[in-house]
């Protein structure tokens, strides 16, 4: 009896380990070969490429975890099933209540895995200058030249030339229920088309005119919430040409579902052509737009963004808002 | 745990012509027409009663913890909006809520807390009447504070939406009404209970006896005083935040 | 050591004293319809609603912003507030607080013996538990119908069943109702019913607070339901400002409804936590407290401490709507991020309020059906407490891309990754308990296995989201949606169903039909996975949440999910039928302790008598000594009798054993 028990115990765990080990190796290899290259969000930008890689790393880590638990439970269902005639009687008592080695191994392995994941995620985030996520008005991790370009854009001095390694600043304005885009390097024209040059570092300055939206350019792997009165900066570095989709990623009211548009990344010369053409076509309209500013929502001091450029501060008159009786109509 | 908040009665076993408070309480609460349980053996009754007293102790501390999270949320809103200063509208022209009202409410609340504390100390020593007087003075001042806090809404020199400070102040004042009401209610109900125990159990100072209801009252008073101390502390913080001039 | 089993001593009475009178029963608690019950609650609610509405119009109808817009948020708010006050007054919740002003201890809540006790205020925690069962299932089915409407709309990206504003109203209502219901789905029914039984107590610490929490919970359901006739609200269950500021009167229903559900949760958690700390039977040290009770304790801690933040957020939102403060309007000094932070500071502990009870149920059921002790009990407790504490430190992972301080993101990524360590402990415990066990695959056990399967996918997908770079791809889309349905529906609700199937024989004395419940389990499990697994893929392919249209290429996947969802809905209908059939149409008496459990709650009569235990038991060990030779007895039930001897089935609810 004792020998049977001694022989039984290693058999279970060894079997489980063997099956598990083989299965996750196969699973990971299959994943890497078949699914990995096609994983979201593609590789249109540098962030997209590294975010895809990050997703692949996580999937390949989670496959062993999933398989481990599934195999164990399947094994238990088969081997330790009361309906199975040869299932031995369980043994209770202190030996069944705790097992220091199993407990500490589990705690150590999960802790180390999780901390390593956090470290990896941080490295990926910092190394990729925010990974395409919105970093607020004062981003901490900036690709070279972007801060300067952004400052220049605000001062009306933005420029962009093809083949010059310059940063392109694009302002994204969300409103209920569409996105529009302003290009400060081309006179600040506003368009609902998002065309971007290839092999270029892009700065997106995202804001909103009314409620919270979210600028989610899926293939560019950019997601930045658009808040009224705030500027949210996100970066992208285009690497391939092609079309991409922009969706609103934050519920913004009734037509949130239809708040989307397409865009494309084109070659630098094509982009230049388009930008110049659009600048010329919209010149009359652009003259009526407010000067470039990071936010456009009016507030009690007038409107930020210099909508009232004469510098006077509108005194806030709350009695206009409530308290006053309605005039006779 | 039950020892420290049950104010033990030192030497007060005065005269009880109608039966001791414990006996009268037992009469009032036992109904042998029901099935064999209703309260179990005397040891079980004592056990469950100690659990009850412990529940008052832990309950009042947990309540204070919950209230802390509530007030901390208000503090968070205050400091967050202050640091954001969106549209330069945190506190234009250093606008402040009416100082007289703020200070008056604060002093009244401090007074109530002191009355509760003083009263409880006297109660412990056996002077129940001192506790009654201090307590009712505290209730009065609490009610005046509540009235002033509500009336202050009509006296603020700003509209609620004119600045972030104005908005937070209105929010804080609403919660302060709730706090003052809760504290004053708690104080009043312990005082009223004490008076009614005299009626129910008879004799001299039955609140000091070992009847369950008397012990429960004493635990309740202790818990309530703790909460009033907490109100005094948190009011000091809010005074500094909102009325700092 | 045991509590004395002597009969109570006769108290020496004065010779002229009259015999003890029956306790005075207040007219409000008398049997019959001339008293306080659900009917008077409804009347009170209607009266309060009308009064509040009238008063609100009286004071504010000439404010310019009210007159201009044709909407009076002040009247709407006051109507709802007074409606809830009227509801509570009608059911009798206010009687005791008012009596206390006069110093009275308040009349005892008379325990009415017939079915009407379930529509009244009751101090019996078992009645409150069963009331919660009905209420929670009602919430669930209502919100579930709304889910069916959502999946119908999503059958086609171009053909629309509903107009855009109706659709967003449905989405918001579904999410909010489900979240409100799920936050109390286990603590309310099972926590209230079982905790005193499991700790060997005859009662709860604060029965009136417990009853109050139930009736406020149902009031909250009615308030959130009232959003529909008010025109709904467009923000989803997350209520983001300033869209919330823009919204119409239905928004007030959301804000106020959520605020009072928060108070109900705080009250329920408060009562249960204090009960567990103070009312444990003698001998029940913390290491002998059952795992389920530990789970409820951790959950109750979260319920009490997290909901105040929600209350403040809701209060500020209501102030914004009624008196035009600007808490959430950046252009006037407020901040949209203020709502986000206040809400999610509550919101993250809220979702652990929904995960922890599931862990507790599973940890409780596994040993019974594996016939082995619970493995690593200390790890279970550490996991539950660890999750509870850490849940306060992770909330900004909901708003990674929103423009928060970017240097905070690695910190919250770390804390969120760390919280997956204690969350994973339940898997260690499950696997350890099953090791060399002898598993009986009853329906409750099947639900436990399903919990492990579903929560694994849910938990792992959560780890994906906590990684900020991956979050850029998955936030705000169907991947997140699938994640939380896997954890909440797949984890919590499956565990709840397992717990119901397991404990209903105790609570009702009736057995649940085996065949029906088996079919119900398999349909629910299969169709749940068929509904939500494709959504992980849909999310990775870029479909946002809360939309009524999507890329044409995703039609196939959406249709697959929708059809599976309809089948899942059918399985829930089957659940309702299973309960109706087993409890009402063809009730069969359940044998005593049908699962052969060592749990303390099973060692008393079935259904449980009013006072739970004839004598307060003296606990001698934990309830997990399965398959152990010479295992110590669980408890001394008084009078030297063993547990089983005294468990004679009563003929009716009130028969006491000896």
Chains adjacent to A (≥3 CB pairs closer than 8 angstroms)? B, C
Closest residue to C625, CB basis, from A92, A230, A300:
A92
Give the confidence band of A9 by pLDDT, cuts at 50, 70, 90.
low
> Are the beta carbons of A322 and B159 separated by less than 8 Å?
yes
Closest CA in chain C for residue B200: C104
Residue corresponding to tokens 């999750």? C387
Q: Retrieve residue B98's tokens.
A: 């009416």
In a domain, C579, yes or no: yes
C629 touches chain A (CB under 8 A): yes
Q: Retrieve residue B153's tokens.
A: 């809404």
> Are the beta carbons of B189 and C100 separated by less than 8 Å?
yes
* C548 and C415, same domain (yes or no): yes
pLDDT along chain C (658 residues), means of 10: 43 43 64 87 97 95 84 94 97 92 76 83 93 96 97 96 96 96 95 97 94 97 95 95 92 96 97 97 96 98 97 96 92 92 97 96 97 96 97 96 93 96 96 96 98 98 96 96 97 98 95 97 98 97 96 96 98 97 96 95 87 91 93 79 38 32
In a domain, C71, yes or no: yes
* A109 and A157, same domain (yes or no): no
Domain that holds residue A270: 146-297
Predicted local distance difference test score (pLDDT) of residue C108 = 65
- The pLDDT of residue A5 is above 50: no
Closest CA in chain C for residue B190: C103
Q: Retrieve residue C79's tokens.
A: 């109507």
Residue A205 contacts residue A169 (beta carbons within 8 Å)? yes
- The pLDDT of residue A10 is above 60: no
> Are the beta carbons of A321 and B159 separated by less than 8 Å?
yes
Residue C188: which CATH number?
Answer: 1.20.210.10
Predicted local distance difference test score (pLDDT) of residue C107 = 64
In a domain, A95, yes or no: no
Residue A191 contacts residue A282 (beta carbons within 8 Å)? yes
- The string of pLDDT tens digits covering residues A266-275 is 999 999 999 9
A322 touches chain B (CB under 8 A): yes
- Name every residue whose Cβ is closer than 8 Å to that of residue C139 and which is 6 or more positions away in sequence: C177, C178, C180, C181, C221
Q: Retrieve residue C354's tokens.
A: 């929904």
* C165 and C132, same domain (yes or no): yes
Which of A31, A97, A208, A209 should one mutate to test binding to chain C, selecting the residue with the greatest count of C CBs within 10 A?
A: A97
> Are the beta carbons of A99 and C469 separated by less than 8 Å?
no
Classify burial at A163, counting beta carbons within 10 Å of its beta carbon; exposed 0-12, middle 13-18, buried 19 or more.
exposed
In a domain, C303, yes or no: yes
* A110 and A153, same domain (yes or no): no
* C86 and C179, same domain (yes or no): no
* A30 and A118, same domain (yes or no): yes
CATH tag for B39-242 (out of 1.20.120.80, 3.30.70.270, 3.30.460.30, 3.30.1490.20): 1.20.120.80
* C458 and C520, same domain (yes or no): yes
* C136 and C91, same domain (yes or no): no
Predicted local distance difference test score (pLDDT) of residue A310 = 43
In a domain, C503, yes or no: yes
- The DSSP result for A117-159, as a single string, is HHHHHHHHHHHTTTTTB---SS-SS--TTHHHHHHHHHTT---
> Are the beta carbons of B54 and C277 separated by less than 8 Å?
yes
* C201 and C64, same domain (yes or no): no
> Are the beta carbons of A40 and C626 separated by less than 8 Å?
no
Domain that holds residue C144: 122-589
Residue corresponding to tokens 């992972």? C397
Residues of chain B contacting C270 with CB distance shorter than 8 Å: 59, 62-63, 66
Which of A318, A323, A324 should one mutate to test binding to chain B, selecting the residue with the greatest count of B CBs within 10 A?
A: A318
> Are the beta carbons of C540 and A140 separated by less than 8 Å?
no
In a domain, C22, yes or no: no
Predicted local distance difference test score (pLDDT) of residue C448 = 98
Closest residue to A54, CB basis, from C165, C400, C469:
C469
Closest residue to A321, CB basis, from B89, B158, B161:
B161
* C270 and C363, same domain (yes or no): yes
* A265 and A211, same domain (yes or no): yes
Predicted local distance difference test score (pLDDT) of residue B25 = 74
* A263 and A198, same domain (yes or no): yes
> Are the beta carbons of B89 and A300 separated by less than 8 Å?
yes
Residue of higher predicted confidence among C365 and A298: C365
Q: For strand A213-217 and strand A242-248, is the pairing parallel, antiparallel, or unpaired?
A: antiparallel
Distance CA C404, CA C395 (A): 12
If one counts the domains in chain C, the total is 2
- The string of pLDDT tens digits covering residues B91-102 is 888 889 999 999
Q: Retrieve residue C615's tokens.
A: 């004598």
Residues of chain B contacting C13 with CB distance shorter than 8 Å: 19, 23, 27
Write a three-state SS string for B101-149.
HHHHHHHHHHHHHHHHHHHHHHHHHCCHHHHHHHHHHHHHHHHHHHHHH
The helix (H) or strand (E) run that includes residue C419 is helix C409-434
Which of B159, B164, B165 should one mutate to test binding to chain A, selecting the residue with the greatest count of A CBs within 10 A?
A: B159
In a domain, C5, yes or no: no
Where b means 16+ CB within 10 Å and e means fewer, B29-39 reads: bbeeebeebeb
In a domain, A160, yes or no: yes
B41 touches chain A (CB under 8 A): no
If one counts the domains in chain A, the total is 2
- The pLDDT of residue A325 is above 70: no
* C502 and C440, same domain (yes or no): yes
Predicted local distance difference test score (pLDDT) of residue B38 = 58
Closest CA in chain A for residue C323: A322
A137 touches chain B (CB under 8 A): no
Q: How far is A317 from chain B (nearest CA, A)?
A: 8
Closest residue to A229, CB basis, from B87, B161, B162:
B87
Kindly provide the ipTM of the predicted complex, given to two decimals. 0.91
From edge to edge, which strands make up the β-sheet containing A260-266? A194-197, A260-266, A242-248, A213-217, A222-226
Q: How far is B187 from chain C (nearest CA, A)?
A: 10
Q: How far is B75 from chain A (nearest CA, A)?
A: 23
Distance CA C278, CA B157 (A): 50
In a domain, A203, yes or no: yes
CB pairs under 8 A between A and B: 23
**Total-model pTM:** 0.92
* A150 and A293, same domain (yes or no): yes
Measured CA angle at B216 (ends B212, B218), to 5 deg: 120
Residue C410 contacts residue C435 (beta carbons within 8 Å)? no
Residue C184 contacts residue C217 (beta carbons within 8 Å)? yes
Which of C103, C107, C313 should one mutate to test binding to chain B, selecting the residue with the greatest count of B CBs within 10 A?
A: C103
Q: How far is B116 from chain C (nearest CA, A)?
A: 17
The helix (H) or strand (E) run that includes residue A179 is strand A178-183
Which of A230, A316, A317, A324 should one mutate to test binding to chain B, selecting the residue with the greatest count of B CBs within 10 A?
A: A316
Q: How far is C378 from chain A (nearest CA, A)?
A: 9
> Are the beta carbons of C100 and B73 separated by less than 8 Å?
no
- Chain B residues 86-115 with CB within 8 Å of chain C: 86-87, 89-90
* A58 and A122, same domain (yes or no): yes
* C277 and C222, same domain (yes or no): yes
Distance CA C499, CA C491 (A): 12
Residues of chain C contacting B192 with CB distance shorter than 8 Å: 100-103
Closest residue to C460, CB basis, from A65, A300, A322:
A65
In a domain, A225, yes or no: yes
* C143 and C276, same domain (yes or no): yes
Task: Report, in angstroms and rounded to the nearest whole number, the Rg of chain A calculated over CA atoms.
Answer: 29
In a domain, A236, yes or no: yes
* A290 and A160, same domain (yes or no): yes
In a domain, A65, yes or no: yes
Of C574, C589, C604, which marks where a domain is finished?
C589
Residues of chain B with pLDDT under 70: 1-18, 27-39, 245
> Are the beta carbons of A300 and B86 separated by less than 8 Å?
no
Residues of chain B contacting A323 with CB distance shorter than 8 Å: 159
Predicted local distance difference test score (pLDDT) of residue B244 = 81
Residues of chain B contacting A322 with CB distance shorter than 8 Å: 159
Distance CA B160, CA C380 (A): 49
Predicted local distance difference test score (pLDDT) of residue C172 = 97
Closest CA in chain B for residue A323: B159
In a domain, A86, yes or no: no
Distance CA A28, CA A53 (A): 14
Residue A158 contacts residue A203 (beta carbons within 8 Å)? no
Domain ranges of chain B: 39-242
Residues of chain A contacting B86 with CB distance shorter than 8 Å: 229, 299
Chains adjacent to C (≥3 CB pairs closer than 8 angstroms)? A, B
Closest residue to B89, CB basis, from C12, C20, C332:
C332
- The string of pLDDT tens digits covering residues A29-67 is 999 999 999 998 999 999 999 999 999 999 999 999 999
Q: Retrieve residue C335's tokens.
A: 């901040």
Residues of chain A contacting B87 with CB distance shorter than 8 Å: 229, 299-301, 304
Predicted local distance difference test score (pLDDT) of residue B24 = 72
Residues of chain C contacting B171 with CB distance shorter than 8 Å: 312, 315-316, 319, 325, 327
* C523 and C585, same domain (yes or no): yes
Predicted local distance difference test score (pLDDT) of residue B28 = 65
In a domain, A248, yes or no: yes
Closest CA in chain B for residue A296: B87
> Are the beta carbons of C464 and A55 separated by less than 8 Å?
yes
Q: How far is A325 from chain C (nearest CA, A)?
A: 6
């Amino acid at each position: 009896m004792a020998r049977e028990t001694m022989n039984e115990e290693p058999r279970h765990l060894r079997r489980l380990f063997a099956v598990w080990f083989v299965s996750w190796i196969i699973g990971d290899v299959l994943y890497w070969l078949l699914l990995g290259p096609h994983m979201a969000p593609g590789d249109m930008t540098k962030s997209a490429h590294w975010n895809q890689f990050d997703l692949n790393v996580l999937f390949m880590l989670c496959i062993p975890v999933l398989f481990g638990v599934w195999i164990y439970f399947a094994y238990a269902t088969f081997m330790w099933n009361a309906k199975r005639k040869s299932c031995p009687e369980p043994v209770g008592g202190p030996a069944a209540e705790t097992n220091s080695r199993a407990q500490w191994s589990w705690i150590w392995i999960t802790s180390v895995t999780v901390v390593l994941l956090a470290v990896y995620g941080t490295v990926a985030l910092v190394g990729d200058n925010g990974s395409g996520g919105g970093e607020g008005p004062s981003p901490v991790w900036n690709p070279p030249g972007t801060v300067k370009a952004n400052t220049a854009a605000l001062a009306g001095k933005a420029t962009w030339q093809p083949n010059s390694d310059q940063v392109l600043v694009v302002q994204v304005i969300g409103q209920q229920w569409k996105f529009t885009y302003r290009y400060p390097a081309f006179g600040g024209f506003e368009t609902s088309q998002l065309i971007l040059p290839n092999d270029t570092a892009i700065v997106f300055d995202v804001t909103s005119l009314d409620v919270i939206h979210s600028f989610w350019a899926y293939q560019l792997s950019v997601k930045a919430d658009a808040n009224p009165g705030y500027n949210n900066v996100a970066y992208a570095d285009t690497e391939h040409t092609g079309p991409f989709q922009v969706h609103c990623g934050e519920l913004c009211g009734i037509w949130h579902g239809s708040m989307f548009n397409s865009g494309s990344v084109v070659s630098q010369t094509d982009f230049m052509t388009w930008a110049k053409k659009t600048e010329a076509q919209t010149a009359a309209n652009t003259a009526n737009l407010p000067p470039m500013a990071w936010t456009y929502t009016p507030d009690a001091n007038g409107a930020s963004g210099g909508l009232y450029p004469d510098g006077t501060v509108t005194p806030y008159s709350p009695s206009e808002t409530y308290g006053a009786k309605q005039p006779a109509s | 745990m039950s020892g420290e908040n049950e104010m033990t009665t030192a030497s007060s076993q005065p005269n009880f012509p109608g039966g001791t408070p414990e006996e009268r309480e037992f009469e009032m609460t036992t109904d042998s027409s029901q099935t064999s349980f209703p309260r179990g053996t005397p040891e079980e009754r004592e056990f469950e009663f100690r659990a009850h007293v412990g529940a008052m102790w832990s309950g009042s501390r947990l309540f204070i913890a919950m209230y802390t999270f509530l007030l901390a949320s208000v503090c968070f809103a205050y400091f967050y909006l202050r640091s954001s200063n969106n549209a330069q509208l945190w506190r234009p022209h250093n606008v402040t809520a009416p100082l007289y009202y703020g200070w008056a409410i604060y002093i009244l609340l401090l007074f109530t807390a002191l009355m509760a504390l003083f009263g409880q100390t006297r109660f412990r020593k056996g002077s129940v009447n001192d506790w009654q007087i201090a307590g009712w003075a505290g209730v009065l001042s609490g009610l005046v504070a509540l009235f002033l806090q509500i009336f202050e809404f009509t006296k603020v020199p700003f509209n609620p939406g004119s600045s972030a400070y104005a908005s937070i102040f209105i929010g804080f004042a609403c919660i302060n009404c709730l706090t003052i009401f809760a504290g004053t209610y708690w104080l009043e109900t312990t005082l009223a209970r004490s008076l009614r125990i005299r009626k129910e159990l008879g004799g001299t100072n039955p609140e000091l006896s070992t009847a369950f209801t008397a012990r429960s009252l004493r635990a309740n008073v202790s818990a309530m005083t703790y909460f009033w101390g907490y109100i005094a502390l948190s009011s000091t913080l809010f005074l500094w935040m909102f009325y700092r001039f | 050591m045991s509590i004395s089993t002597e009969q109570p001593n006769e108290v020496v009475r004065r010779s002229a004293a009259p015999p003890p009178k029956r306790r005075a029963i207040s007219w409000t608690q008398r049997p019959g319809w001339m008293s306080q019950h659900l009917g008077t609650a409804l009347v009170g609610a209607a009266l309060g609603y009308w009064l509040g509405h009238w008063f609100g119009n009286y004071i504010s109808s000439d404010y310019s912003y009210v007159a201009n817009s044709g909407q009076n948020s002040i009247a709407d708010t006051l109507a709802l507030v007074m409606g809830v006050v009227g509801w509570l007054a009608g059911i009798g919740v206010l009687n005791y607080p008012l009596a206390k002003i006069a110093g009275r201890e308040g009349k005892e809540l008379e325990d009415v013996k017939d079915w009407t006790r379930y529509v009244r205020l009751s101090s019996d925690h078992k009645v409150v538990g069963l009331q919660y069962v009905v209420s929670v299932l009602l919430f669930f089915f209502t919100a579930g119908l709304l889910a069916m409407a959502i999946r119908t709309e999503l059958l086609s990206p171009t053909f629309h069943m509903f107009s855009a504003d109706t659709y967003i109203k449905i989405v918001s209502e579904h999410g909010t109702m489900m979240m409100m219901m799920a936050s109390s789905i286990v603590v309310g029914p099972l926590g209230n019913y079982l905790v005193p039984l499991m700790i060997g107590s005859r009662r709860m610490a604060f029965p009136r607070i417990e009853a109050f929490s139930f009736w406020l919970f149902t009031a909250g359901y009615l308030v959130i339901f009232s959003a529909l006739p008010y025109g709904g609200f467009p923000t989803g269950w997350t209520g983001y400002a300033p869209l919330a500021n823009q919204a119409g009167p239905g928004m007030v229903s959301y804000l106020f409804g959520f605020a009072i559900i928060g108070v109900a949760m705080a009250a329920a958690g408060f009562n249960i936590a204090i009960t567990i700390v103070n009312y444990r039977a003698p001998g029940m040290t913390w290491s002998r407290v059952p795992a389920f009770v530990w789970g409820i304790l951790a959950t109750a801690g979260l319920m009490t401490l997290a909901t105040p933040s929600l209350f403040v957020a809701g209060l500020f939102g209501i102030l914004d709507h009624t008196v035009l403060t600007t808490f959430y309007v950046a252009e006037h000094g407020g901040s949209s991020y203020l709502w986000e932070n206040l809400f999610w500071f509550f919101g993250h502990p809220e979702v652990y309020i929904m995960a922890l009870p599931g862990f507790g149920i599973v940890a409780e059921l596994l040993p019974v059906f594996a016939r082995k002790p619970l493995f690593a009990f200390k790890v279970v407790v550490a996991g539950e407490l660890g999750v509870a504490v850490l849940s306060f430190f992770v909330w900004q992972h909901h708003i990674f891309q929103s423009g928060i301080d970017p240097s905070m993101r690695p910190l919250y990524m770390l804390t969120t990754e760390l919280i997956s360590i204690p969350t994973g402990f339940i898997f260690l415990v499950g696997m350890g308990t099953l090791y060399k066990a002898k598993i009986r695959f009853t329906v409750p056990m099947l639900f436990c296995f399903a919990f492990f399967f579903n929560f694994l996918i849910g938990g792992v997908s959560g780890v994906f989201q906590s990684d900020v770079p991956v979050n850029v791809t998955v936030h705000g889309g169907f991947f997140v949606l699938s994640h939380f349905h896997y954890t909440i529906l797949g984890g919590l609700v499956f565990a709840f169903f397992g717990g119901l199937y397991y404990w209903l024989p105790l609570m009702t004395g009736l057995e649940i039909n085996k065949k029906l419940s088996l079919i119900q389990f398999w349909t629910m499990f299969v169709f749940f996975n068929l509904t939500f697994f494709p959504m992980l893929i849909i999310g990775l392919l870029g479909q946002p949440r809360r939309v009524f249209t999507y890329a044409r290429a995703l039609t196939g996947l959406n249709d697959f999910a929708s059809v599976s969802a309809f089948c899942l809905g059918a399985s829930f209908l089957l659940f309702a039928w299973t309960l109706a059939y087993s409890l009402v149409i063809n009730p069969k008496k359940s044998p005593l302790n049908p699962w052969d459990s060592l749990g303390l709650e099973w060692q008393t009569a079935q259904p449980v008598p009013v006072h739970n235990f004839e004598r307060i038991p003296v606990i001698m060990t934990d309830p997990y000594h399965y398959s152990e030779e010479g295992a110590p007895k669980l408890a001394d039930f008084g009078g030297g009798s063993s547990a089983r001897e005294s468990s004679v089935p009563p003929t009716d609810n009130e028969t006491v054993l000896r």
